[in-house]
Amino acid sequence: MHAALPNRIPEIGVSYRSHDPRQRLIVALDVSTAAAAQKIVVAVGDSAFTYKVGMQLYTAEGPQVVRDLIASGRRVFLDLKYHDIPNTVGAAVAEAAKLDVSMLTVHAAGTGKMLRTAVDAAKARPGLMVLAVTVLTSLDSHDLENIGVRGTVEDSVVRLATIALANGCHGVVASAREASTLRAELGEMFAIVTPGVRPAGTSAGDQVRIVTPAEAIASGASHIVVGRPITEAADPAAEARAILGQMSG
């Protein structure tokens, strides 16, 4: 991967709400080849530093795509949503730390020991943020009831986020709607990474509940994840810049 950035990006502060919107924009590389990913990264240029590598790209291309992104000066959010016995998750997080990723995801439902083991393993890479997924937004209260979880989805989100933070996680992945509840209930000192963001005036695609960048930030998101609006734009850099403007405005 070429087009290296000139400087190493400084780590994000403890409140995770940087004044520089470029520190808060994450571009989702939901593609299946390293070549397609590289094309997007080059097209975005220096409008964004952090790229989300999820299970599609990672399964297709493996860790080399992560190494190449980092070697070119980008940060990587490794979104593999680890959920297994503590020993296995800890070992996987240790490997992710060796790759030098900046952020990764675990399922909060793995609970205390798994989360603590993940957080401990992440310490090998200072600044590596362990983010917890609470309730997948594809699930509703009936789905939760079917697996024996009572109460509203929101109750479960807050409960799981509380468990995640109590066990050392640095933040959560949450929709904008959940973000405002989580800020009200749990405060400011953790990251909230929010997907489902669409620039003002664009189509929703298959996202059901969407918010604009400004709405996500106002809801309490420390970071926003944007995929297709940037990756499928005719001019990804211009689209990313427009989103940065909306985040600041």
**CA 209 remoteness from chain centre:** 17
The nearest distance, CB 55 to ligand C5P, in angstroms, is 9
The nearest distance, CB 28 to ligand C5P, in angstroms, is 4
Residue closest to 226 by CA, chosen among 234, 218, 235, 211:
211
Q: Work out whether strand 129-133 and strand 103-107 pair parallel, antiparallel, or are unpaired.
A: parallel
The nearest distance, CB 60 to ligand C5P, in angstroms, is 14
The nearest distance, CB 87 to ligand C5P, in angstroms, is 27
The active-site residue, picked from 39, 81, 113, 123, is 81
Instruction: Report the residue number whose CB is nearest to ligand C5P.
Output: 227
Cβ atoms of residues 46 and 5 within 8 Å: yes
Cβ atoms of residues 173 and 132 within 8 Å: yes
> Given the complex with ligand C5P, which of 86 and 176 has the nearer CB atom?
176
Residue 81 annotated as catalytic: yes
How many C-beta neighbours within 10 Å does residue 203 have?
9
The tally of CA atoms less than 13 A away on the side-chain side of residue 145 is 5
Cβ atoms of residues 131 and 160 within 8 Å: no
DSSP 22: G
> Given the complex with ligand C5P, which of 10 and 205 has the nearer CB atom?
205
> Given the complex with ligand C5P, which of 99 and 193 has the nearer CB atom?
193
> Given the complex with ligand C5P, which of 13 and 205 has the nearer CB atom?
205
**Three-class secondary structure of residue 178 per DSSP:** helix
Q: Which residues of 111-136 are buried (b: 16+ CB within 10 A; e: fewer)?
A: eeebbbbbbebbeebeebbbbbbbbe
The nearest distance, CB 234 to ligand C5P, in angstroms, is 16
> Given the complex with ligand C5P, which of 119 and 135 has the nearer CB atom?
135
Q: What residues line the site for ligand C5P (CB under 6 A)?
A: 28, 30, 52, 54, 137, 175, 195-196, 205, 207, 225-228
Tell me the catalytic residues.
81
